[in-house]
Amino acid sequence: MIPLPLEQLIKELASLPGVGKRSAQRVALHMLQNPECMKALEGKMQAVAQEVKTCTKCANIGLDDPCHICTSVTRDKTRICVVEGVDDLWAIERSGAFTGMYHVLGGVVDAMQGVGPNDLNMDNLVSRACSDSVDEVILALGASVAGQTTAHIIKGRLKDAGVNLTVLARGMPMGADVDYLDEGTISLALQGRQAV
């Protein structure tokens, strides 16, 4: 009933993260009715494939390798912030609260998904942390079991590196109501309470 090429396009779109079968169908029909949108998308994808590089030092992405953060002369080279993905790096940069360097792991250790420490950009982190200039490694990983497991593994790997290892504070997010917080967050926020 659905023409085969369209069916295949829907399948391809539905394989993208966060895109379900119904959205894929909607997008495919939109593309069919707006060929100029399809052309534009193709052009943008080709530009990304050709121009965007992964930084061999920190695994951030950018137009240059090493990336603009690694080559910056104004950023604090004594601190490395470890993130799961480039989108986490972007979120931290948007906050403007960090002026050091980054290290993108490319995921977290997750036995359920078959991701082990060797599938991540970890050896590189160890050698960076061991360099003389680095004082602190900040783990900005997700507050999930996989994130905590990964933090634990990194702690083991860095124990001889002579750096301070820190993690992001756990507690109430801005704007939160106490009665909407889950028990885990409440108990972490209580444990980490601070003098006012």
Binds a copy of itself by CB under 8 A, chosen from 14, 21, 48, 113 = 48
Are 123 and 90 within 8 A, CB to CB? Answer: no
List, in order, residues 6 or more apart from 145 with CB less than 8 Å away: none
Q: What are phi and psi of 54, to 5 degrees?
A: -95, 130
Query: Per rule CB under 8 A, is residue 21 in the interface with a copy of itself?
Result: no
Q: Any contact of residue 176 with a copy of itself (CB under 8 A)? A: no
- Whose Cβ is closer to a copy of itself: residue 37's or residue 130's? 37
Kindly state whether residue 72 participates in binding a copy of itself, applying the rule CB under 8 A. Answer: no
**Binding of residue 86 to a copy of itself (CB under 8 A):** yes
Q: Quick count: other Cβ atoms within 10 Å of Cβ 138?
A: 20
What is the sign, positive or negative, of the torsion defined by CA atoms of 88, 93, 95, 101?
positive
Return phi, psi of residue 147, to 5°.
Answer: -65, -40
Per CB under 8 A, the segment of 7-15, 74-82, 109-117, 170-178 that binds a copy of itself is 7-15
Residues at the interface with a copy of itself (CB under 8 A): 1-6, 8-9, 12-13, 15-19, 23, 25-32, 35, 37-38, 40-42, 44-52, 61-63, 85-87, 90, 93-94
